[in-house]
Structure 1
Amino acid sequence: MTYSKLLFSRLSAPAVLTATMAVAMPQFAAAETLNVGINSDVTNLDPHRATSTTDKSLVGWMFNGLVRFPPGSANPAEIEPDLAESWESSEDGLEWTFKLREGVPFHGGYGTVTAEDVVYSLTRAANTDSSSFAGDYSGFASVEATGPMTVKITLAAPVAGFLGLVANYHGGNIVSKKAAEELGEAFNGQPVGTGPFMFSEAVTQQYVSLAANPEYFRGAPQIDDIKYQIIPSDSSRELAFQAGELDLIYGKREQRWVEQTKGLEGSTVDVFLPGEYRTLHLNMTHAPLDDIKVRQAIAHAINVDEIVAFVGGDVGPRGCSVVPTGYLGENCDAGTYAYDPELAKSLLAEAGHPDGVTFKAVVSSNASQLPIMEVIQAQLAQAGITMEMSIVDHPTYHEQIRQDASDAVFYGAARFPVADSYLSQFYHSSAIVGTETAITNFSHCAVADEAIEAARVATSEEEQLKLWAEAQKLIHEEVCSVPLFSLMQVWARHDGLDYGYDLKGALNLAPPITEATTITR
């Protein structure tokens, strides 16, 4: 299979400017600074470690992959060339060869992209010591440079959604080998990419500044820089937006907020894919959740329809499986857990807990999480189930849940939209938190490993879909988690901000800011 080459404009200037120089040079200055308001602090800007929405948004503006989702799209069918100008695959889908674009400069004087950088980046992405997404690359047998600008990837078996693993998303982002090796651990705070914007400055709990990359291979950005301001208070962020101090803000993902903000003169609310699939993961190794009847009781005590009504149907449509809504391979045949508090009480009694049970949950103070957990807490209480919440800031929440410190984990995530990505990262035993290959299996679920693995090497789409359906059925029966809803991305902008494309989706969970983005005030 051969993909045609796409040509993009590229600056002819041979030198690469540092972030500081880019701000100072008037010939590259654009019209405005883009002021963005976000809800939590930035914790890691290494693209192979960035897992939170706050971090991934910035990473998306600074890095490129071999291929990319076009700005405004989260549709795998629309993937197009990025740092690779063309590629081809063998008939069996096991060998992929990418021809790189010539002369693409890294930020900060670190040279231009070569096959060596790509091999280093993808090998780094597959290493548990350097990547939070290593499990995604377990199917890679080898990554090798077959020439200065040619990379060959050999797979141990066909990989569902392979191009998503080398796209501008998670481990697919390409880093400078020289910069990563030179900076070491400091790379997470001094990232070096190839994107339209480059790291300039960061002040903890205040802001991160990005400068326009004047040598971006698609052309210099039309705005000068981005100031990414950390404003945890929703009300403070909204007031700054209404006062015109912010051009773009991370919104409150509630129907009421969307309708209210739409009513502000000169403002637009963008609700877009992918939804971060909200799920309550139940840790099957922690008592009393190690008893399946207790997990069943919790599942039947949660009124998902009430939660969806609270969030709003437009921004929080209900899910029907452990695989998110709209993903290739989603199967709803196993059904959902019916809301039945009396059944929940009966199950607790059968489990030897006629007076109810208590379990603990580490909960983020984030506005998109805490209110939902408060609703769930109240619902569980009606069935005699006490959920004691330890409320912490968002970075601490991420740290503690990965240390297996919570009996139940309320987690929202968007992944490459095929069933394997979600099943592998949340329900395969290799992804169990606390292990060497840990990703986000907070429930310690291992019941569907065989089906998940078999689906990866299935020789037909029909067989693959059947195996994915079997995995979902097994996970549902084991009550590894309680699927809730897909929380869509919600951002608000002033009408003077023109993205330069039609926003329908963004896997990095924020509107892509590109060389085509403009501001008119």
Structure 2
Amino acid sequence: MPAAAEATSQTTVMEPAGKITMGQEEINIFSGHPAHSVNPQLFVISTAPVVEGLMQWNSNLEAEPLLTESWNISDDFATWTFNLRKGVQFHKGYGEMTAEDVVYSYSHWITNTKHARASALQRFWDHPEGHVEILDRYTLQVNTGEPMPDVIMSEFHRVPSGIASWVVSKKQSDEIGIEAADKDIAATGPWEIVEHRPAQYWRMKAVQDHWRKTPYFAELEFQEIPEQSTRLAGFQTGNLDTFVMAFDSIPLVQAMEGAKLLIVPDQAAGEMLLHFHGGLYFNVGTPDQEAAYDPDLPWVSSNTEIGTPEWEQAKKVRQAMVKAIDTQTIVETLLQGYAQRSPVGVGGYSYSSHRFPDIPMLEYDLEGAKALMAETGYGEEGFSITLVPALRGAPAEVEVAEAIAVMWEDIGIDVKLQNLPYGTYRPTVIGRTFNGATNHATSPSNTPARLYNALQNRGSFIRHTHPYLDDVTIRAQSAVTLEERTKLETEVGKFMYDESIYASLYMWNAVWAVGPRIDDKSWSENLFYGDIRNINGYEWIEPRR
């Protein structure tokens, strides 16, 4: 298989000056070491970026080199050889990145059980039948023990992303310890962390003579501002140069003198999914039964066998809830038209929808939803459910949850809306104790199997598990040909569509506010496309001239 193309190094040297101030919805506690970093901070760190991974994704969702110069894959897709970029310097004077630093970093990523792709990282870097070998200072080889297709491997080695991983200095941790390094990490990005206060701000400085791109500005500050109205006011008064923006603020930004919008079209930002939690059908009736599994919940079956009356009852409840959501109205109002309904009604399928012509989009059918509720016996009395908007930096997350709550109330469901910080909600999913519903934004997927970890019992950030899904999704992730993977992904997709367990509502454009002091020309041409739910590429923001 041919080696990946080489990335371009920086050729222009400049003296950074000035400061960019950005309003984030949530940043939480700064944590940069692979042993500890989790969302939401894991995602935010990788957007600046303070950190860099082995690779990045281009606008076609294809992997490209970043800290690697190239990589090669054996014919059996089990041996990967990474050729690292020479001359990449760590922050804080910790010297040049080598293969030893890469192996050290991933030896800790695989122990970070709260990482959303912990199990996949373990399979790649620490498979029982595999091994890792440093060939020389800039070359390392990983044998994965089993086939690992490139579209799966590249998912968790990229930045920025909510499932990002990166390389840090081994020497720093050896000298000052992991705990200290975690709060003052020596990584390789164009921004270096300088100071931070939990849930208040992160301050970063530009890395002069960075191997890839020295920032135009000397300083970058992220401020945590949970309220959209306060972020907008900060932008309007000039205290913020850009901010995480709800789309209903777009007309106000457009009306502001000197302000502009940076729009990434073609629904490239991500897709909004609807998850029903609690359907964890492993170990039911044993001492290892998951805490989230509650057979008394209407959307959870008391019988783990597919097709039984109990299973069909719970399925009809979920189908009713999905049918009751008027996605087109959400797109036209809350998303201001900067979105479209997902062409495939299953999470992870819409960016490769041409491969799945037999899986349709979701259709709004209020009367059909009411009929299903009546058929299941909930037509008059209804039931209660907790709905949590997973705050990932996507537009109108809370407002969309509020709209879904109103639509569900139309079919007799009492919705307990909980607007929790992502750092509060996420551990309940990791701990398998949450059994409500979430509207959850995810990044674009170049193949559906990329998201299957959330459906596997071995996964860390899971929503719905069943022995059938475990078997077929694991086989799909190991398929090395597009034909075989498409066949298995189609099987999974049809099952999830029929079961209404991983619904995809819409895909949206990235729309970012550009303040009067900054310019978006170079910025818009140099984005990281792996995950643009949140603003990234600050090193490319120029002063307005």
CA distance in 2, matches of 1:5, 1:225: 29
| TM-score, scaled to structure 1 | 0.85
**Secondary structure in 1 aligned to 2:332?**
helix
> Which residue number in structure 2 is paired with residue 341 of structure 1?
366
- How many angstroms does 1:387 deviate by? 1.6
Against the structure 1 CA distance between its residues 428 and 317, is the aligned structure 2 distance closer, same or farther, given a 3 Å change threshold?
Answer: farther
Number of the residue aligned with 2:308 = none
Q: Secondary structure at the match of 1:323?
A: coil
Give % identity.
Answer: 23
What are the residue-to-residue correspondences of 1:308-319 with 2, within 5 Å?
308-312=331-335, 314-319=337-342
Unaligned runs of at least 5 residues, structure 1: 13-27, 432-437
Residue in 1 aligned with 2:283? none
Q: What residue identity is the alignment partner of 2:169?
A: S
Does 49-58 or 97-106 show the bigger shift?
A: 49-58
Choose which of 458, 464, 469 in structure 2 pairs with 1:448: 469
C-alpha contact (below 8 Å) 2:30/2:41 kept by paired residues: no
Contact 1:164 1:172 (C-alpha < 8 Å) held by counterparts: no
Q: SS of 2:370's equivalent?
A: helix
Per-residue CA deviation, residues 254-281 of structure 1 (Å, 9 max, x unaligned), is: 2x43344233232221233643322221
- Return the offset for 1:220: 3.5
Answer yes or no: is 1:63 the counterpart of 2:63: no
Tell me, yes or no, if structure 1 residue 76 matches structure 2 residue 61.
Answer: yes
Q: Does 1:413 align with 2:442?
A: yes
Matched, 1:225 2:219: yes
Task: State the one-letter code of the partner of 2:43.
Answer: K
CA deviation profile, 1:70-129 (whole Å, cap 9, x unmatched): xxx44333x433222233232333322122222322112323211111112233333344
Residue from 156, 159, 162 that aligns with 1:165: 156
Would you say the 8 A contact 1:400–1:406 is kept in 2? Answer: no
Secondary structure of the residue aligned to 2:177 is helix
| One-letter amino acid of the structure 2 residue matched with residue 143 of structure 1 | V
Q: Aligned equivalents of 2:401 and 2:5: distance in 1? A: 49
From the superposition, tell whether residues 298 and 11 of structure 1 become closer, same or farther in structure 2 (CA, over 3 Å): closer
* Deviates further, 177-186 or 102-111: 177-186
| Residue pair 1:270, 1:492 contacting (<8 A) in 2 also | yes
- 1:178 maps to a residue whose letter is K
Residues 160 and 418, structure 1, Cα contact 8 Å, conserved in 2:
no
SS of structure 2 residue aligned to 1:502: helix
Structure 1 44/427 Cα, relative in aligned 2: closer, same or farther at 3 Å? farther
RMSD: 3.0
Unaligned runs of 5+ in 2: 125-129, 280-292, 301-313
Pick closer, same or farther for the CA change 1:275–1:10 going to 2, 3 Å.
closer
Among 201, 215, 232, the residue aligned to 2:195: 201
Determine the structure 2 residue equivalent to 1:434.
none
Count of matched residue positions in the alignment of Structure 1 and Structure 2: 492
Verify: 1:268 aligned to 2:260, yes or no.
yes
The aligned residue for residue 90 of structure 1 is: 74
How far residue 51 of structure 1 moved from its aligned partner, in angstroms, is 5.5
1:50 CA displacement: 5.2
Conservation of the 8 A alpha-carbon contact between 1:160 and 1:420: no
8 Å contact from structure 1 (residues 364, 393) kept in 2: no
Residue number among 366, 376, 400 corresponding to 1:372 in the alignment: 400
1:299 offset after TM fit, Å? Answer: 1.9
Deviation per CA, 1:366-416, whole angstroms, max 9, x where unpaired? 573221111111111111122222333343233344442342122112155
Deviations 1:181-239 (A, max 9, x none): 54324544333211101101112232110011124223533211101112222222112
The 8 Å contact of residues 47 and 173 in structure 1, kept in 2 or not, is answered as no
Counterpart residue number, 1:356: 381
Whole-Å separation in 1 of the counterparts to 2:510 and 2:405:
24
Give the partner amino acid of 2:419. I
C-alpha distance in 2 between matches for 1:381 and 1:360: 11
Q: Is the Cα–Cα contact under 8 Å of residues 28 and 40 in structure 2 kept in the other structure?
A: no
CA distance in 2, matches of 1:171, 1:417: 16
Distance change in 2, residues 1:126/1:52 (3 Å): closer
Residues 337-363 of structure 1, C-alpha deviation per residue, up to 9 Å, x if partnerless? Answer: 433333333323332334233233252
Structure 2 residue aligned with 1:41: 27
Answer whether contact 2:269 2:507 (CA < 8 A) is retained.
yes
**1:177 is matched with which residue?**
170
| 224 and 495 in structure 1: CA distance in 2 versus 1, 3 angstrom threshold | same
SS in 1 for 2:269: strand
CA displacement at 1:139 relative to structure 2: 4.3
**Cα distance change of structure 1 residues 382 and 129 upon mapping to structure 2, 3 Å threshold:** closer
Secondary structure at the residue paired with 1:429? coil
The alpha-carbon distance between structure 1 residues 371 and 6, as it changes in their structure 2 partners (threshold 3 A), is closer
Q: Deviation string for 1:430-464 (max 9, x for gaps)? A: 32xxxxxx12x223455433332222333431221
For the residues of structure 1 that align with 2:434 and 2:112, how far apart are their CA atoms? 21
Q: Normalised by the size of structure 2, how large is the TM-score?
A: 0.81
Partner amino acid, structure 2, of 1:476 = Y
